[in-house]
Amino acid sequence: MRSGSNRAAPGLILAARQLRNDRLVRLFESFLEYRACVGRVIVQTIVALWCFGWLYGPQPVLVRDAQAVFPTAATLWMVAVVWMVLVRRRIIPPGEWLDAIGFAMNLLFIGIQTYLAFILLMSLNAFLPFITIAAVARYGQKATLPVLLSTFVLMLLTAPAGYWLSRPAYFVYAVALSVVLPLLVARIVSAMQEIALQALAARDAQSRFISTMNHELRTPLNAVINCAQLIDSDTLSAQQRELMQAVTVNAIALRHRVNEVIDVASIDGGRLQLHSKPLSLLDVLATVKAVCASAASTKGVALALRSDAAQTPDLIGDEGRIEQVITNLVINAIKFTPAGGAVDVLIAATQVQQRWAIAVTVTDTGIGIPDARRPISSRPSPSSAPVSAVPRAGSGWACSLRCRCPRRWAAA
């Protein structure tokens, strides 16, 4: 299973992309040639300036090295600049082969210059372990042995004759730096890749479970709701009507919870679909009022909905998701506001140059959420009541949705 997993995902970069972990993706994409070519130009500029500065330096050995390598260093700088322009402007299309060429160029640049001026530029060998680590992150464990052999041979061939024999302690240090350390990091990267693949498998299993739950739970719930609504309540006694109403209300509430769980799972899996179309904030507000008015009336909470966004131009967005987030905010405010309290909803629009900024504010007179618990309230959980000593019914999934849906819109 281990080898099969490694063949399926060639590197940790691909696994990070599949997991949609933005921090890991940004970190590992810095190893790719599109960004690495910029770093190569910077390093080569420093090398060329370093060699130029030593053309008239005080130490004859370093002066000879500088005179021998400076023309080559300047030429390689020009090559690096031209290559960077071609890559950054995507004249050369990105791909696995492009990154492989980039790794080869790094080794070639280091090898040529350290061969011509080993004493002056031996510090370039410090980049060798990072090249190995980057190659393993890009191509997986299969890149470990070829790159390690290349760096080890390069280190041996570029040194002057007898250099390592006369300095055995330096040789041990160089081997540890260019071979042992990258090998250890490569094993860590391989272990991280296995963990990432297991996370991907767990996410796929979750996706299959959500698909099954979508069919196995929502379909019978819809049937129960529709059948309950079709029953002629006029022929029932008062107690029977009360029982039928309880069945309908609880079935609808359960369907709402199922929808929330599915939405949270969709966000986690990157499958939440946004359907943008022209919308009216007044229509959104009317829907929120229709959905929440009954809960506010039953609880004895005064609900006020106001908007100064009547003059805004036509907006584009997912009206259903926007209404869902606002409704969850309002329902949560009603839930934690005692009878006799008030919940106020304000949609304010402000024009900034050619753009409109829309702010939705929900204010209540409830118990509130302590500052220490506010980050926790955005996490999905079975219950996210802000104060455990005050029992409340409800689901914590709505709290997560109202925080994560806007982040998903911003990412899109």
Do 17 and 155 lie in one domain? The reply is yes
Query: For the chain, what is the domain count?
Result: 3
335 near 394, Cβ under 8 Å?
Answer: yes
Query: What pLDDT sits at residue 235?
Result: 78
**Greatest CA separation found in the chain?**
110
In a domain, 385, yes or no: no
Query: pLDDT tens-digit profile of 265-324?
Result: 666 656 666 778 888 888 888 888 877 888 888 889 999 988 875 565 667 887 777 887
Do 283 and 256 lie in one domain? The reply is no
More confident residue, 282 or 39: 39
The last residue of one of the domains, among 269, 293, 312, is: 269
Do 295 and 313 lie in one domain? The reply is yes
The last residue of one of the domains, among 222, 251, 269, is: 269
Do 19 and 151 lie in one domain? The reply is yes
Do 249 and 320 lie in one domain? The reply is no
Do 121 and 212 lie in one domain? The reply is no
In a domain, 306, yes or no: yes
In a domain, 47, yes or no: yes
In a domain, 194, yes or no: no
The string of DSSP codes covering 200-254 is HHHHHHHHHHHHHHHHHHHHHHHHHHHHHHHS-GGGS-HHHHHHHHHHHHHHHHH
| Residues of the domain holding 120 | 12-160
In a domain, 384, yes or no: no
333 near 362, Cβ under 8 Å?
Answer: yes
In a domain, 191, yes or no: no
User: What pTM, to 2 d.p., does this model score?
Assistant: 0.56
Do 131 and 90 lie in one domain? The reply is yes
In a domain, 351, yes or no: yes
Q: pLDDT > 90: what percent of the chain?
A: 18
Query: pLDDT tens-digit profile of 62-91?
Result: 889 999 999 999 999 999 999 999 999 999
CB-based burial of residue 141 (10 Å sphere; 0-12 exposed, 13-18 middle, 19+ buried)?
middle
Do 250 and 300 lie in one domain? The reply is no
